[in-house]
Amino acid sequence: MLTTPDPANQLKKIEIEDYETLVQQVKPKPPLLKNSFWAFVVGGVICMLAQAIQNYLLSKGAGKTDAASWTSVIMIFLGALLTGIGVYNELGKIAGAGSIVPITGFSNAIVASAMEFKREGYIFGVGARIFSVAGPTLVFGFVIAVLIGAIKVFISS
């Protein structure tokens, strides 16, 4: 028995392929050099600011671990505040990964995703949505850290 391919299905396949090549042609190439430059500069400046805070705390006699913890807390606060007043997202348009990778970007992801969901209420709207990006991040951090700890227990026993 002769089986002919379903013409409608075949047409669909061709259309999808054509469409994808067209998208590849038309899509603007990300300006790699410019993006990289701004990511480097903005990310660098954020880390430099954090280092300045850390140096100040150390000069005031804080212990090394405490100074690092305080610095994280302050940077997280700044990230949340700047996201709230709308500055951080503007910065993100220029800086790209320069605003995502530092811990201020973690804080930005928490606030930005939660702010949109006030209409669902302060408990299951905002309260749940602060974890839409932070949740997966913490899950992977914890799982890997516990695994590494378990491996160490296994090796040293």
Minimum CB separation of residue 111 from other proteins in Å reads: 5
Both tokens of 103, joined, read 């811990």
Q: Is 111 an interacting residue with respect to other proteins (CB under 8 A)?
A: yes
Minimum CB separation of residue 91 from other proteins in Å reads: 12
Minimum CB separation of residue 56 from other proteins in Å reads: 11
- Encode 33-68: b = buried (16+ Cβ within 10 Å), e = exposed: eeeeebbeebbeebbebbeebbeebeeeebeeeebe
Tell me how far apart the alpha carbons of residues 127 and 118 are, in angstroms, rounded to a whole number.
Answer: 9
Site string for other proteins, 39-58 (x = CB under 8 A): xxxxxxxxxx-xxxxxx---
Q: Which of 15, 30, 56, 120 binds other proteins (CB under 8 A)?
A: 30
Q: Is 144 an interacting residue with respect to other proteins (CB under 8 A)?
A: yes
Residue 10 or 51: the one with the smaller Cβ distance to other proteins is 51
Q: How many CB atoms lie within 10 A of CB 7?
A: 8
SS3 44: helix
Residue 5 or 119: the one with the smaller Cβ distance to other proteins is 119
Both tokens of 92, joined, read 């993100």
Q: Is 105 an interacting residue with respect to other proteins (CB under 8 A)?
A: yes
